[in-house]
Amino acid sequence: MPVVPNRGGVEAPRDLVALGLQAARNAIETEAAAVSALADRLDGVFLDVLIAVAGCEGHLVVTGLGKSGLVGRKIAATLASTGTPATFIHSGDALHGDSGAVTNRDLVLALSASGETAEVCAFARMLVEREIPVIAMTGNEESTLARIATFTLDTMVLREADPLNLAPTASTTATLAMGDALACALVVLRDFSHHDFARFHPSGALGRRLLQGDDA
């Protein structure tokens, strides 16, 4: 059987390499379809969330666990850099004291693909008991988290992108895209400008380019 050597000296059968390449193509197509499907879900609930976040007097606190937590950190960073005060609190840490950082002026965006992540749901319950609104971003609108939340943004995907349909791939991409959609809509609502963006990004190539444009 023909083989393809790799840099580590291990040889892989060409037919297996071909299957791997097809799996890579399938992953991109699956994730693209998952993101595209979100556009039809930007309904009244999304508008309610948009208005709530735009009117928030405190911070939008993003929370999650595992891969959803990693995506949540990026969503919080994107929001903060585009004019929406936002921060991230790990759901596990929230149950060990960090929930005290959340005030009655804040909103919380809770991420869980299944909507059943124990720590995320427990944190959400604590917040609701304190009358702090919770926005769920989940792939299961019938989940525990969705029932607890004030608003639920649907990020359901038909399947994950990996061949086993197990690894968080399409679901995390869809969640990230929904977070970006929220950030982009808020840029418009806040009339956030190139100048505002430059003030938040004084360093790096992007910051220099924007600031040089202001000086021109």
Task: Using CB atoms within 10 Å of the CB of residue 216, give its burial: 0 to 12 exposed, 13 to 18 middle, 19+ buried.
Answer: exposed
Mean pLDDT computed over 46-53: 98
Tens digit of each residue's pLDDT (9 = 90 or more) over 55-97: 999 999 999 999 999 999 999 999 999 999 999 999 999 999 9
Domains for the chain: give ranges and CATH numbers: 15-201 (3.40.50.10490)
Residue 161 φ/ψ, nearest 5 degrees: -85, -15
What are the tokens at 95?
């149950």
Mean pLDDT computed over every residue of the chain: 92
Residue 83 φ/ψ, nearest 5 degrees: 100, 0
